[in-house]
Amino acid sequence: MTDTFIEIIRFVISFCHVMAASTWFAGSLISLNINNLIKINQSFERIFDHFTNWTNTIISTLVLTGVILILDSISRIDSKVYIFILILKLFLFIWITLILYINRYKSYYFNKRNIYNNFIKLLIQSKLIFPITVVIFLLSELLNIIRI
């Protein structure tokens, strides 16, 4: 009975994680082409506004379910490669979070032109969100292969 209950909880958490990740992935894909889509149909602008309003909820769901799944995986799998990939995935997710945070609350510091700002601007451009998301998805699939 207890094992069945634990498996049901794992399934529900995994399902919530996959749904939030899919929503994030689709929203990132749309955000790359939002200007072209708005030219086609104005309703895409309203849809994207709804997505941006839900971004914090999606990210919070991803973080919460991701942490639970990571802790569950680490407790069952004792592999240094697995843990390294988990840390890499976490680093990439933190990178996306920093991109979102810095782009939302840009400071006047980035208005100054110097070599450091140009390098930082290169690392925090919002167009990087989608490729990093793809890499995170690929790493997730690699972790699933290692887990088996």
Q: What is the pLDDT of residues 17-70, one digit of tens each?
A: 889 888 887 777 777 676 677 777 777 777 777 777 777 788 788 888 888 887
User: Which pLDDT tens digit goes with each residue over 112-146?
Assistant: 677 777 777 778 887 788 888 889 888 888 887 87
**pTM > 0.85:** no
* Cβ pair 76, 35 in contact under 8 A: no
For 82-96, how does the pLDDT look when each residue is reduced to its tens digit (9 = 90+)? 888 888 988 998 888
Distance CA 49, CA 54 (A): 9
Single-letter code of the amino acid located at 19: M
Considering its fold, how many domains does the chain have in total? Answer: 1
- As a whole number of angstroms, the distance between CA 72 and CA 98 comes to 26
Domain residues for the domain of 27 are 2-147
Phi-psi region of 59 (alpha: psi -120 to 50; beta: other; left: phi over 0): alpha
